Amino acid sequence: MAPPASRGLIAAAPVLTLVLVTFFVLWRDGRAAAPDATRIFEILGAANGYDAMLKSSLAGLICAGALAALSRALSFGDIFDAGLKGAALLFDALVVLFLAWSLGAGINALDAAGYLIGALQSSLAPELLPTLVFLLCAAISFATGTSFGTMAIVMPLVVPLSFAITDDPLIPLVASGAVLSGACWGDHCSPISDTTVLSSVGTRCDLMAHVRTQLPYALVVGVISVVFGTLPAGYGVSPWLLLPVGAVVCFLTVRFLGKTAEPAG
């Protein structure tokens, strides 16, 4: 059995390898794809992110297995079993992502974005788009239990729609952020989300009791996000002002409306 210091290295080194290899591959591929780019975001944006994640994940796996074997913390059989169990944990998420991407490809083939642009371009107020997107993504993610799937479905529709209905460069940015935040909010609250189920199982708490107890906190944050986030941002208020204001409102809400939990038993 490896000493505690070695076990800490075995845990930290694969994560560090994952991060370093990811940035190395992104930088290398980005420089090759855009040799004239000078800004780091342009270089990283030109790279193939999926290829970088695949190679960095493989490098992290090899690093973890090699360190575990060299330190004799695990046998080769245990390393192989751990790898299979880790892959099995990701299987459901990969299936959801695959199906979501398939649905997204179908939406693109049907030109759903073009249809939405034609139907809403003259009737939808651009200022309300971020809020409507947040609420829509929250509802979809809550019903399906997947944030990644919601992002894959809604993002290809929202980006072209936001550019079509307004010339304000802030609206597409805020609407894209609303997709991410709304999807994460619904996934956090959903009783069929994998994170909700795993949290319930890990803490040995009844699933619906866990959902009921976390929902008030999420609802408060969701309301604050709309009132002090997507709505004013849609009307041109700078996110650099809204972010600290939202944080202060969250703090004041907990400070004056929150109550100290009574110890159980």
Report, as an integer, the average pLDDT of 111-127.
71
Q: What is the pLDDT of residues 227-257, one digit of tens each?
A: 999 999 999 898 899 999 999 999 999 888 8
Highest mean pLDDT among 28-32, 108-112, 188-192: 28-32
- The pLDDT-based confidence of 218 (bands split at 50, 70, 90) is very high
Q: Is the pLDDT of residue 182 over 90?
A: yes
Percentage, residues of the chain above pLDDT 70: 88
How many angstroms separate the most distant Cα atoms in the chain?
A: 68
Q: Is the pLDDT of residue 222 over 90?
A: yes
pLDDT in the model for residue 6: 64
Q: Is the pLDDT of residue 29 over 70?
A: yes
Q: Is the pLDDT of residue 11 over 90?
A: no
pLDDT in the model for residue 110: 73
Cα–Cα distance for residue pair 101/36, rounded to 1 Å = 32
Judge contact between 139 and 186, C-beta under 8 A.
yes
Picking from 26-30, 80-84, 94-98, 147-151, which range would have the lowest pLDDT averaged per residue? 94-98
Q: Is the entire prediction scored with pTM above 0.85?
A: no
pLDDT in the model for residue 97: 64
Highest mean pLDDT among 168-182, 197-211, 248-262: 168-182
Q: Is the pLDDT of residue 112 over 80?
A: no
- The pLDDT-based confidence of 114 (bands split at 50, 70, 90) is low
Residue ranges of domains in the chain: 1-74, 103-265
Mean pLDDT of the chain, nearest integer: 83
- The pLDDT-based confidence of 89 (bands split at 50, 70, 90) is confident
pLDDT in the model for residue 108: 66
Percentage, residues of the chain above pLDDT 90: 26
pLDDT in the model for residue 225: 93
